[in-house]
């Protein structure tokens, strides 16, 4: 059917400032929507308050308002611009909540603005815990035992009926704000009180705790004719009780039988119909009891989400773009998939690889905060890795986090965990923490049984057995020396995700030695295409990931080309502003006649959209992985100065003649504290007294000479990471020891 001709101007609300739980994935979704709707001839009005986004670039919308995202300012924008429609589903929870406020205050009705994509009624059913529970029961779907409360007295009455432990879930919130698991009455009173405050409508769901169950998400698209497709199924490695944003997640789901998956798929469609999301994408969350297979619906987001961005990048299916087209009247069968240029959007994606998402936290910034994960999201960013197997994608993902890990242990940082006793290790594994995945590998390597680890962590045996495969491969490798290591075994290790630094660590040799050995035996990565259809149709879009197989699908062109190194995972001090810079570098390179090649591992970003650059490599930003891409593509230049600290650190290993812009020597001079100090001395620029040190003893002497307090500052950091003011000798010893 044709697109709607009765609307001309569409208002899109952005997500505002970056917060934990709401990051640059909404810049990605909003940018996609602005582009495609403008191409369709609609006049786009955009409201957002974040200047670091691509979506607030003047050319993306016909009218862009960088204003506070409040009902007051949005009302003034509506009064001035007179939009015919409001698309509320692309700006995260901020846009959704504001759209509902505009609806409840009568602003939309007063100015004749229609809400498209999802109606106010559908949003209310999905976001209001009481209405959602009632709706699910009406269509015969199971939900955990629960009750809805609007006051503390109501919540305590519900607790008497359900009994401890319970989960408290506020309505209309993002990132699990105000949620929590209460195991005692004292915990319940605090969590319930916090939840009522967190909910904009002062409503909480007091729900039977199903912590320890398996958790799944199904990303669904629906059009106005009730055609529906599952874009992607996602399974959490971590059990219920840890927010999905803080969980390691895997796509497609790995541990469901076909019958279980088909039921989940049918139930997702039923949820979409009952809630009434007329068009667009939503994700429906389920929990499955591992003991008997019982399945319950947890919740749904009637909008694009961080999981939507992950599903888009995992499959190559542009959810936000298609959701925008569906909202203006197109149907799934009328929209052509951009990846294949042949299949319609009603063609359900199928992938022949494994995608693993890993969160990144910033606990090092807040040393007094306990590193314990729960129902409230705490991660500040994430990475995504693609491999032919789970073991390969997991290890690629872990080294993408840029936290000094080369993979799943088998690196210098494993020593701290390996020093724990079995009892202490098992005790720590009982809690979700950023270190748990490494603790599990250490436990399995010691010979602790999978069932024992399963009993403590509640993680499915399939995932534990996959981690065990990595430990077994490490054990087999240790039976050889590097001189007599069979080439087939080295290749097998690479297929299981082992990096060159891991292999070098295992054999006590240099990374360069391992790399030369690999190349001698012609063990080099091949690159496969992300094509949405498991190679059933040829992909037209050059979007690649590495693996160690025989056929290479990334055939380099002979064009002039430039590689742009992205910024990696979001973290405090390195976020969306660097992605903005990299995206504009890709645009500029194309304008100058260069083929632009983007390398990044962040699934939330515009830079990892398949059509931002001419070629996209979804790969870890490490020396090994970048060297492999350089060797394949043979670029004319490499841009390292626009992606923040991540590519600056990589610049040291890149041929200086290939670096575009600021050379590596100049980067060193600015980032290395010692070199910087020498330059200031030569120029006669005064600095605070101090010295660069390489040992604890030297640091103690310098601190004694200067006098306390002193500021300890490492080289090559962003946003003051690991900097600390210390007031006594013992503190100097501890801080410097942690840094060196």
Question: What is the maximum alpha-carbon separation in the chain?
Answer: 79
State how far the Cα of 406 lies from the Cα of 349, in Å rounded to an integer. Answer: 32
Residue pair 331/223 in contact (Cβ under 8 Å)? The answer is: yes
The dihedral through the CA atoms of 605, 611, 612, 613 has a sign that is positive
CA 151, chain centre distance (Å): 35
Query: Looking up tokens 């279980």, which residue turns up?
Result: 260
Encode 680-721 in three state secondary structure: HHHHCCCCCCCCCCCCHHHHHHHHHHHCCCEEECCCCCCCCC
Taking residue 681's Cβ as centre, other Cβ atoms within 10 Å add up to 11
Residue 630 neighbours by CB under 8 Å, 6+ apart: 563, 638, 654, 658
Q: Walk me through the domains of the chain, giving residue ranges and CATH numbers.
A: 9-116 (3.40.50.20), 145-208 (3.30.1490.20), 214-349 (3.30.470.20), 402-520 (1.10.1030.10), 526-670 (3.40.50.20), 680-739 (3.30.1490.20)
Encode 313-338 in three state secondary structure: HHHCCCHHHHHHHHHCCCCHHHCECC
Strand partners, 235: 216, 250
Residue pair 6/83 in contact (Cβ under 8 Å)? The answer is: no
Residue 691 neighbours by CB under 8 Å, 6+ apart: 677, 698, 702
Identify the helix (H) or strand (E) that includes residue 114: strand 114-115
Query: Tokens representing 461?
Result: 């045996």
Query: Tokens representing 430?
Result: 């009982």
**Res 218 pLDDT > 80:** yes
**pLDDT band for position 461 (50/70/90)?**
very high
Quote the pLDDT of residue 537: 56
**pLDDT band for position 720 (50/70/90)?**
low
Query: Looking up tokens 């242990």, which residue turns up?
Result: 409
**Res 538 pLDDT > 70:** no
Q: Single out the residue of 290, 334, 283 nearest to residue 308, CA to CA.
A: 283
Mean pLDDT of 519-546: 83
Identify the helix (H) or strand (E) that includes residue 615: strand 615-618
The dihedral through the CA atoms of 328, 222, 244, 171 has a sign that is positive
**pLDDT band for position 534 (50/70/90)?**
low
**Among the ranges given (458-462, 586-590, 650-654), the one the predictor scored with the smallest mean pLDDT:** 650-654
Degrees (nearest 5) of the Cα angle 359, 365, 367?
105
Which own/partner pairs from 695-702 qualify as long-range (CB within 8 Å, at least 24 positions apart)?
A: 695/740, 696/732, 696/733, 696/736, 696/737, 696/740, 699/732, 699/733, 699/736, 700/729, 700/732, 700/733
Quote the pLDDT of residue 540: 66
**Cis (ω within 30 of 0) for the bond into 709?**
yes
Gap between the terminal Cα atoms of the chain: 64
Residue pair 128/276 in contact (Cβ under 8 Å)? The answer is: no
- The 10s digit of each residue's pLDDT in 502-519 is 999 999 999 999 999 999
Could you tell me the pTM of the whole model?
Answer: 0.91
- The 10s digit of each residue's pLDDT in 597-655 is 999 999 999 999 988 999 999 999 999 999 999 999 999 999 999 998 899 889 889 99
Mean pLDDT of 576-594: 95
Identify the helix (H) or strand (E) that includes residue 563: strand 561-565
336: left (phi over 0), alpha (psi -120 to 50) or beta: beta
Mean pLDDT of 671-693: 85
Strand partners, 362: none
The bridge status of strand 295-301 relative to strand 280-288 is: antiparallel
Residue 314 neighbours by CB under 8 Å, 6+ apart: 232, 251, 351, 355, 384, 386, 603
Quote the pLDDT of residue 718: 62
**Res 208 pLDDT > 70:** yes
For the chain, the C-alpha Rg in angstroms (whole number) is 26
Query: Tokens representing 241?
Result: 């009780």
**pLDDT band for position 296 (50/70/90)?**
very high
Mean pLDDT of 10-24: 89
Residue pair 527/539 in contact (Cβ under 8 Å)? The answer is: no
State how far the Cα of 605 lies from the Cα of 247, in Å rounded to an integer. Answer: 19
Query: Tokens representing 363?
Result: 């606990």
State the DSSP code for 344.
B
Mean pLDDT of 59-85: 97
Quote the pLDDT of residue 584: 96
Question: Helix axis angle, 319-327 relative to 25-39, nearest 10°?
Answer: 50
**pLDDT band for position 675 (50/70/90)?**
confident
Residue 71 neighbours by CB under 8 Å, 6+ apart: 98, 101, 102, 105, 107
- If one compares 739 and 287, the residue with the highest pLDDT of the two is 287
Cα-flanking dihedrals φ and ψ of residue 593, to 5°? 90, 10
Helix (H) and strand (E) counts in the chain: 27, 25
Burial of 205 (0-12, 13-18, 19+ CB in 10 A): buried
**Among the ranges given (426-435, 553-562, 640-649), the one the predictor scored with the smallest mean pLDDT:** 640-649
State how far the Cα of 603 lies from the Cα of 50, in Å rounded to an integer. Answer: 19
State how far the Cα of 30 lies from the Cα of 95, in Å rounded to an integer. Answer: 11
Query: Looking up tokens 């809690």, which residue turns up?
Result: 431
Taking residue 31's Cβ as centre, other Cβ atoms within 10 Å add up to 27
Average pLDDT of the residues of the chain: 91
Mean pLDDT of 416-433: 96
Residue 108 neighbours by CB under 8 Å, 6+ apart: 78, 86, 102, 114, 115
Encode 232-273 in three state secondary structure: EEEEECCCCCCCHHHCCEEECCCCCCHHHHHHHHHHHHHHHH
Query: Looking up tokens 């290591």, which residue turns up?
Result: 485
State how far the Cα of 426 lies from the Cα of 456, in Å rounded to an integer. Answer: 7
DSSP helix/strand/coil, 76: helix
Residue pair 174/92 in contact (Cβ under 8 Å)? The answer is: yes
Question: Helix axis angle, 92-104 relative to 25-39, nearest 10°?
Answer: 60
Strand partners, 181: 167
DSSP helix/strand/coil, 75: helix
**Res 303 pLDDT > 70:** yes
State how far the Cα of 105 lies from the Cα of 96, in Å rounded to an integer. Answer: 14
Q: Single out the residue of 450, 470, 616 nearest to residue 545, CA to CA.
A: 616
């Amino acid at each position: 059917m044709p697109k709607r001709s009765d609307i001309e101007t569409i208002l899109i609300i952005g997500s505002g400032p970056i917060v934990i739980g709401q990051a640059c994935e909404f810049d990605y979704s909003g940018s996609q929507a602005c582009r495609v709707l403008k191409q369709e001839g609609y006049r786009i009005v955009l409201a957002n308050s974040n200047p670091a986004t691509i979506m607030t670039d003047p050319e993306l919308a016909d009218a862009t308002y960088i204003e506070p995202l409040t009902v007051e300012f949005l009302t003034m924008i509506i009064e001035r611009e007179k939009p015919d429609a409001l698309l509320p589903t692309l700006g995260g929870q901020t846009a959704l909540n504001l759209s509902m406020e505009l609806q409840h205050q009568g602003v939309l009705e007063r100015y004749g603005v229609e809400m498209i994509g999802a109606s106010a009624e559908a949003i209310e059913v999905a976001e209001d815990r009481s209405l959602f529970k009632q709706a699910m029961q009406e269509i015969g779907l199971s939900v955990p035992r629960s009750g809805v409360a609007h006051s503390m007295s109501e919540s305590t009455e519900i607790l008497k009926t359900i009994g401890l432990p319970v989960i408290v879930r506020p309505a209309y919130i993002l990132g699990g704000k105000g949620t929590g698991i209460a195991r005692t009455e004292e915990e319940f009173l605090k969590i319930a009180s916090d939840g009522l405050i967190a909910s904009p409508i002062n409503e909480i769901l007091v729900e039977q705790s199903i912590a320890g169950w398996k958790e799944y998400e199904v990303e669904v698209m629906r059009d106005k004719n009730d055609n529906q497709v599952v874009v992607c199924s996602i399974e959490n490695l971590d059990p219920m009780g840890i927010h999905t944003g803080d969980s390691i997640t895997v796509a497609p789901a790995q541990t469901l039988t076909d019958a279980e998956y088909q039921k989940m798929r049918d139930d997702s469609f039923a949820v979409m119909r009952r809630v009434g999301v007329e068009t667009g994408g939503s994700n429906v969350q389920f929990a499955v009891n591992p003991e008997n297979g019982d399945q319950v619906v947890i919740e749904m987001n009637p909008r694009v989400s961080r999981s939507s961005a992950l599903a888009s990048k995992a499959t190559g299916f542009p959810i936000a773009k298609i959701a925008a087209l569906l909202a203006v009247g197109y149907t799934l069968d009328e929209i052509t998939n951009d990846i294949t240029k042949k299949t319609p959007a009603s063609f359900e994606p199928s992938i022949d690889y494994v995608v693993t998402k890993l969160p990144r936290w910033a606990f090092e910034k807040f040393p007094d905060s306990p590193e314990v994960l729960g129902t409230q999201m705490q991660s500040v960013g994430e990475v995504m890795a693609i491999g032919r197997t789970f073991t390969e994608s997991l290890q690629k993902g872990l080294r993408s986090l840029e936290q000094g890990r080369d993979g799943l242990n088998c690196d210098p940082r494993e020593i701290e965990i390996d020093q724990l006793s079995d009892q202490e290790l098992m005790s720590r594994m009982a809690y979700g923490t950023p270190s748990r995945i490494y603790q599990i590998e250490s436990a399995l390597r010691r010979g602790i049984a999978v069932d024992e680890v399963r009993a403590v962590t509640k993680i499915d045996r399939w995932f534990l057995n996959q981690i065990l495969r990595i430990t077994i491969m490490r054990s087999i490798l240790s039976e050889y020396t590097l001189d007599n290591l069979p080439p087939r075994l080295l290749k097998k290790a690479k297929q299981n995700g082992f990096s060159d630094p891991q292999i070098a660590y295992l054999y006590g040799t240099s990374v360069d030695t391992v790399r030369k050995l690999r190349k001698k035996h012609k063990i080099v990565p091949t690159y496969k295409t992300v094509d949405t259809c498991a190679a059933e149709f040829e992909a037209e879009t050059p979007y690649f990931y590495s693996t160690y197989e025989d056929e290479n699908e990334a055939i380099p062109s002979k064009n002039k080309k430039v590689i742009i190194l992205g910024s990696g995972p979001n973290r405090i001090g390195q976020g969306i502003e660097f992605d903005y810079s990299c995206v504009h570098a890709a645009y500029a390179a194309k304008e100058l006649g260069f083929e632009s090649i983007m390398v990044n591992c962040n699934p939330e970003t515009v830079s990892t959209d398949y059509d931002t650059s001419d070629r996209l490599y979804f790969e870890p930003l490490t020396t090994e992985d970048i060297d492999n891409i350089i060797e394949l593509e043979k670029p004319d230049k490499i841009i390292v100065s626009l992606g923040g600290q991540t590519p600056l650190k990589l610049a040291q290993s890149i041929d200086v003649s290939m670096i575009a812009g600021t050379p590596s020597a100049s980067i060193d001079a600015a980032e290395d504290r010692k070199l910087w100090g020498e330059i200031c001395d030569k120029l006669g620029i005064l600095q605070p007294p101090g010295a660069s040190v390489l040992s604890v003893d030297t640091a103690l002497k310098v601190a004694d000479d200067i006098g306390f307090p002193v500021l300890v500052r490492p080289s090559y950091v962003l946003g003051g990471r690991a900097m600390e003011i210390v007031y006594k000798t013992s503190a100097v010893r501890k801080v410097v020891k942690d840094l060196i």
